[in-house]
Homo-oligomer: A and B are copies of this chain.
Amino acid sequence: MKFTAVAAIRAIGIDPGSRCTGYGIVEGDGNRLCLVGSGTIQLPARLPFSDRLKVIYDRLMEVIEQNRPECMAVEDVFFAKNVKSALRLGQARGAAILAGANSGLLLHEYSALQIKQAIVGYGKAGKEQVGEMIQYLFKLHGPLDPNASDALAVAVCHLNTHSSRARWQKTESP
């Protein structure tokens, strides 16, 4: 068992929603994490639903084209308020995942528990604690929009998980 050099990886995290979809791009090399950019796609209620999906897809295609992440990380959702909101969330999530798939990104999914554990160190942490930790981690002067903050959290979760795996990877002796 040997420590291996970890190349920098750039991940885009997504917090999908039919009213607001957050995204956050983070680069990590196993020792440090660097915030590349983040934002929230606002989806006005007056927009027909199919147009909202197109806005999510088009905007994420642009963000991916501009920032060139290598992979996409999304929260694996298991519950929603009700079936109707699950359907809406599923459609927004589908549009985001397709933007990643059509840009050749590999998809990684993490449960809310794994994300909170990776950011706060406690799987039952509240949304505010995750936001505060993201603010602290990237030395931000103020809190981010919650959707952008949650998107950064899933990107950080992926980079931390990937980095721990790479550190313990078995390598052949020369």
Interface stretch of the complex, out of A1-9, A91-99, A115-123, A141-149:
A91-99
| Least CB distance, A77 to chain B, in whole angstroms | 6
* Most interface-central of A51, A79, A95 (chain B CB within 10 A): A95
CB pair A50–B92 under 8 Å, yes or no, is no
* Most interface-central of A50, A57, A77 (chain B CB within 10 A): A50
Closest to A79 in B: B83
Interface stretch of the complex, out of A24-32, A62-70, A100-108:
A100-108
CB pair A98–B101 under 8 Å, yes or no, is no
CB pair B77–A107 under 8 Å, yes or no, is no
Task: Kindly identify, within residues 58 to 89 of chain A, every residue whose CB is under 8 Å from any CB belonging to chain B.
Answer: 77-80, 82-84, 86-89
Q: Does A54 sit within 8 A of B, measured CB to CB?
A: yes
CB < 8 Å: which of B53, B77, B94 contacts A53? B94
The CA of A91 and the CA of B117, in the complex, are separated in Å by 27
Chain B residues with CB under 8 A of A98? 50, 53-54, 57, 94-95, 98
Q: Does A126 sit within 8 A of B, measured CB to CB?
A: no
Closest to A54 in B: B101
The CA of A49 and the CA of B94, in the complex, are separated in Å by 10
Q: Beyond A83-B79, A90-B87, is A107–B50 a contact (Cβ under 8 Å)?
A: yes
Q: Does A48 sit within 8 A of B, measured CB to CB?
A: yes
Given contacts A87-B89, A87-B90, A94-B95, 17 further A-B contacts (CB under 8 A): A48-B107, A49-B107, A50-B98, A53-B94, A54-B98, A57-B98, A77-B87, A78-B83, A80-B83, A82-B83, A83-B86, A87-B87, A90-B94, A93-B94, A94-B94, A95-B98, A98-B98
